[in-house]
Amino acid sequence: MDNGVIELTFWQVLLGYVFVVLVLFVLRKRAIKRETVLVIATFRMTLQLVAVGYVLTLIIENPHPLITLAVLLLMLAFAVFTVFRKFKEDLTPSLKKVVAIALPAGSLLSLGYFLFVVIRVEPYYNPQYFIPITGMIVGNSMTGITLGIHTLVNRFTDQKDAVIEALHLGATPKGASHEIVNEAFDAAIMPTVNNMLGMGIIFLPGMMTGQILSGVAPTTAILYQIGVMLGILGGVALSTYFFLLMGYRTFFNKDAQLKTTL
């Protein structure tokens, strides 16, 4: 125990794996074929977190702007690739380009404002702040765009006839897809808004809990959590807004007609 922080040993952490054994028992008893997935997920989680822990320790102890930049670009590239992989058949080349622009643009705007205006990190590349906050903002922006894509593609498919009819009546592509874009934006930001509604009463967020467990004063942890949550909201909203602003246009041709194959 150091400065009020309880240090966990290897054997103490090992005791936590009893819950994995418990879930495996339930899966086997209920004949639910998920044992292999759970074992792989547990192994990957452990291996990945241990590896990341050592890498982050090395980066934080040896801060360098190029290393911080490399980690940032890696996170953004992985987030874009994850979206591409999730929607292998639904994303046209044009829509992929929009994702590749919108996700980094929205995330970086929110991240830059939060780090350099709100927190005022010094030095500007300080990995102790830069990397964890980047992960939270980029990760949530990726989730927001994923929900936006899902809703946008489904609505254009389900409401194809209504969009064509609106175009025939003289509506522009922007007007004909107005409600679809609104629904997609709403779907993208609602998980973040719901988290904000329940935060502090129904549950304590991970970042705040981690800071408190590591000995940070609850009042300080709360202020950081509020700031980060607002940064996440900004990242999700900006990324999704940029995506939808450019994305709906890819469903129409140069003659302002809905493409026959969506």
Cα→Cα distances 253→47, 169, 171, 173, 241, Å: 47, 17, 15, 10, 21
Q: Which of 235, 229, 227, 248 is nearest to 75 (CA)?
A: 235
Q: Which of 155, 144, 74 is nearest to 102 (CA)?
A: 144
**Cα(189)–Cα(109) distance, rounded to whole angstroms?**
17
Q: Taking the model in full, what pTM does it have?
A: 0.85
pLDDT tens per residue, range 53-70 = 999 999 999 999 999 999
Instruction: Write down the pLDDT at residue 36.
Output: 94
**Cα(210)–Cα(32) distance, rounded to whole angstroms?**
33
**172 is written with which tokens?**
């522009």
Q: How many CB atoms are located within 10 Å of the residue 80 CB?
A: 20
Where along the chain do its domains lie?
A: 1-62, 65-251
pLDDT tens per residue, range 155-210 = 999 999 999 999 999 999 999 999 999 999 999 999 999 988 888 777 667 777 77
pLDDT tens per residue, range 17-48 = 999 999 999 999 999 999 999 999 999 999 99
Which string of DSSP letters, residue by residue, matches 110-141? HHHHIIIIII--SSTT-HHHHHHHHHHHHHHH
